[in-house]
Amino acid sequence: MSARDGQAASTAGRGRLVVMSGPSGSGKTTIKSRLRRHPAISVAVTVTTRPQRPGEQDGRDYHFVAREEFLRMAAAQRFVETNDVFGTGHLYGSLKDELDAALATAGTVYLMEVDVTGARNIRQAGYEALFVFVAPPSRVVLEQRLRARGTDDDAAILRRLSRYDDEVASALADGSRFVINHRVDDAVREFYKLIGLKEPAPAAGS
């Protein structure tokens, strides 16, 4: 089955790549946290220079590094893609060695959460993958979710909202599959269908 038909393309006996993109506030991180429960799914950990937020774990949510260290890593060609998201000056990068190691492991599904630009960069780097765009039900819902997070001021929220139409247009142009996140449970279920994995049973007591 092709990536467009719902399977991340790969050579037989190799791992598969799934690239999740979408606007901030669409629910990507929540969906990712649910998908990581599956034993076959390995979640990429992005390197970033932005400050660590309360509740985030270094090495699990992100690899938090100083800007100078990030630039050294970039110069050493350790990233498959890098981006200055929203032009804030905070840099993000996806580690090439971790991606290649996952793709060399049969049965592994390597899940990367990036923005639309990052997804396009991965595609242009020649990686075959299932590209999925997570979208909110509407722009109004997106704004409500961004404000409910409490992590951005009004100016940052307006910048994120102003990118939304362009992000959708880019994802459509790139041929990404779309998952509309009305409810997280339904979105996660749709992801499992697209990836071609059986959703694990809930843990006892959950």
* pLDDT tens per residue across all 206 residues of the chain: 343 433 444 445 699 999 999 998 899 999 999 999 999 999 999 999 999 988 999 999 999 999 999 999 999 999 999 988 655 688 999 999 999 999 999 999 999 999 888 899 999 999 999 999 999 999 999 999 999 988 778 988 998 898 899 999 999 999 999 999 999 999 999 999 999 999 998 766 55
Among candidate residues 55, 54, 29, 56, the one with its CA nearest the CA of residue 44: 29
Tokens read off for 33: 């946290």
> Percentage helix, strand, coil, to 5, in the chain?
40, 20, 40
Give the integer Cα–Cα distance in Å for 165 and 47: 27
Residue 149: predicted pLDDT: 84
DSSP assignment, residue 85?
A: G
- Taking phi first (over 0 means left), then psi (-120 to 50 degrees means alpha), and beta for anything else, what does residue 177 get? beta
The four Cα atoms 97, 103, 108, 113 give a dihedral, to 10 degrees, of 60
Give the integer Cα–Cα distance in Å for 87 and 84: 5
Name the fold adopted by 3-195: Rossmann fold (3.40.50)
Residue 156: predicted pLDDT: 85
